[in-house]
Structure 1
Amino acid sequence: MTGTEGFRARIVFLLKVPLEYEYDFLDAYEQIRYEVARGVPGHLRDQVCRSATDPEQWMITSEWRDLDSFVAWEATEEHRELAAPLRRCFTEARSLRFEICAETSAQPAPEPATTTS
């Protein structure tokens, strides 16, 4: 682990998926995400997002209890087997790893007080 022990991790995959593979890509993502959510230690949540300006640009983010949990999962044969159908759909990929140091609350900000006369 790095010097930020105890921090959750965010993994970002930036992918280029040709339009003709979009549905295969989304089908493969659906298969993988349920398998991971059901039984991979340390996995918390994930999202798949498409660029608003380039329909071939995609991003998958996942949140993990810690970076070690992701690294351990990524090194398994199960990960390679599950990710294979997804990997067949993209032509470019970039992977980034971050430790979450701070975040905003999901709670809405309080409304300003109003005065009545």
Structure 2
Amino acid sequence: MTGGAVEVVLYHLSDDPDRVLPAYHEASRRMAGTAGLLGNKLLHALGDPRSYVVVSRWADWEAFTAWESGAGHKDQTAPLRPLRDTGRDRPFEIYRELAAYAGDRATTLVADAGKTADAGKTADARKAADAGKAAEAGKTADAGKAADAGKAADVTSGAGAKQKEGV
């Protein structure tokens, strides 16, 4: 399972919010410098004040599995283990990144996601054509509006297309 970053989502529950942040910081401190770990973050559910998730980002599947099977794994994550949401079938999920958007630019990360890249190219061509038509008509302000409309279509069509394929 190569080909892109991996994100691991760990589910936690706590009735005592004062326990969560120190445990998260201690586990993160212990994991600092771990090969392949790009970072992590703690999220708090808006709909359930007891629910927290830790999302860690790994360079790839191999880096994550090397760490997970290593001797330090359990010690590094020990501060958060008592808070693990054991009421779930699995207290974690692992996701491989397929595509991402940064601003108005799409990045397709796996070869089989070509349809998303094609949708982005089509929308980019449409943006350029719309901006060119507006500029030819002497409406430079409208050119910017057309480009902005194209960007919105680019984000909607590209992301939506990939989500539908993956579900």
**Which has the larger strand fraction?**
1
Equivalent position of 1:86 in the other structure: 80
**Which has the larger helix fraction?**
2
**5+ residue gaps in structure 2?**
106-130, 132-139, 143-167
Say which SS state the counterpart of residue 84 (structure 2) adopts. Answer: coil
Off by >4 Å, runs of 4+ in structure 1:
none
**5+ residue gaps in structure 1?**
none
Say which SS state the counterpart of residue 98 (structure 2) adopts. Answer: coil
> Which is worse superposed, 60-69 or 80-89?
80-89
Equivalent position of 2:63 in the other structure: 69
User: In the alignment, does 2:21 pair up with 1:26?
Assistant: yes
**Alignment partners' CA distance in 2, 1:7 and 1:30:** 27
State, as a whole percentage, how many aligned pairs show the same letter.
22
Amino acid at match of 1:98: Y
Counterpart contact for 2:11–2:84, Cα < 8 Å: no
**Alignment partners' CA distance in 2, 1:75 and 1:24:** 27
**Alignment partners' CA distance in 2, 1:73 and 1:56:** 28
Amino acid at match of 1:50: H
**Alignment partners' CA distance in 1, 2:70 and 2:42:** 22
- Count of matched residue positions in the alignment of Structure 1 and Structure 2: 106
Q: Larger RCO: Structure 1 or Structure 2 (Cα < 8 Å, ≥ 6 residues apart)?
A: 1
Q: TM-score, normalised on structure 2? A: 0.56
How much has 1:78 moved relative to structure 2? Answer: 1.3
- How do 1:98-109 and structure 2 match up within 5 A? 98-105=95-102, 107=103
**Alignment partners' CA distance in 2, 1:11 and 1:52:** 20
Counterpart contact for 2:11–2:85, Cα < 8 Å: no
Amino acid at match of 1:28: A
Q: Considering only aligned residues, what root-mean-square deviation do their CA atoms show, in Å?
A: 2.1
